[in-house]
Amino acid sequence: MAVPSLELAPRPHPGTPIPPPPVPSRVVPGLPVPTLQPPAGPSEARLPPGPPTAAAEQVRTAGPPPAPPRWRWWLEWVAVVLVALVLAFGVRTYVAQMFYIPSGSMLPTLQIGDRIVVDKLAYHLHAVHRGDIVVFARPPLEHADYADLVKRVIGLPGDTVSSVDGRVYIDGKPLAEPWLPTPEPVTSPSPVAQGFSLNHPYTVPAGEYFVMGDNRTNSEDSRYFGPIPADLIVGKMAFVAWPLDDSGWLVVLSAVAAALVVAMAVVALRDRTRSRSQRAVLLRGPPVPRTP
């Protein structure tokens, strides 16, 4: 009896991967045989199957969106400048204003040529205090050429102000004036005939303030033109803007930092708006031409 011979397949080389056994396909007669296709890439997954249309070809070949016109850039910066001017006008009218010292009536506290910043909101938040340096509009009895004057508040409404032996007294008590130089200058009555000249004790009317200059021997103040009504007061001196002292430098640096922050915020907002518009153009795609 013949024994059939066995043919041994050659053994694969060590390290060669062994292919998986073939899977028998089940083909149903009369149905098309499905064919496997490679997965579509990220750019082709959004396109419908079939031949590419004109719109799809335009989406594929479209470059970055065009840059905005230059006039728009200029328009944005013109708007920023206008907003800054409006804010500056509002600040000057309602918040703070700078004044120039033209005379020596406040020596040695304020020198001729100093620039001071006046806080216009201070007396909307609190009352006028004795010792405050205030800027006020020229009262009717003052004949100087200056539209605004700067003096120190000495007498409050209801106070009785008097001058005794060259010193100021409030309600019969000597007033401590640390702002005056040493030795203290003589505070003399004025030559006018009215009661506010301090030739006799004078009571400040309600709603008015008795003001004097620190340079008592060379200052035309309430001893000459009387107490000033509250509605003439422009504001309270905040600091000397020029020449700068320590507080002035701090305020200037804070203002510069605030301006830089505002400018950076405007630029960031503009770039964000521009990137949003570019993203919207990319998502929307170019317009599809209409076929007749």
* DSSP calls for 168-231: EEETTEEPP-TTS-SSPPP-PPPS-SSGGGSSS-EEPPTTEEEEE-SSGGG--SHHHH-PEEGG
Q: Can 105 be counted among the known catalytic residues? A: yes
Nearest-angstrom CA–CA distance, 222 and 155: 10
Of the residues 5, 25, 103, 105, only one is catalytic, namely 105
Please check whether residue 220 is in contact with residue 172, taking contact to mean a CB–CB distance below 8 angstroms: no
Q: Is the dihedral of CA 91, 92, 95, 96 positive or negative?
A: positive
Q: Can 163 be counted among the known catalytic residues? A: no
* DSSP calls for 249-266: HHHHHHHHHHHHHHHHHH
Of the residues 120, 151, 163, 236, only one is catalytic, namely 151
Helix (H, G, I), strand (E, B) or coil at 59: helix
Nearest-angstrom CA–CA distance, 153 and 40: 85
**Token pair listed for 1:** 């009896």
Please check whether residue 94 is in contact with residue 234, taking contact to mean a CB–CB distance below 8 angstroms: no
DSSP 242: E
* Cis status, amide bond into 183, omega within 30 of 0: yes
Catalytically annotated residues: 105, 151
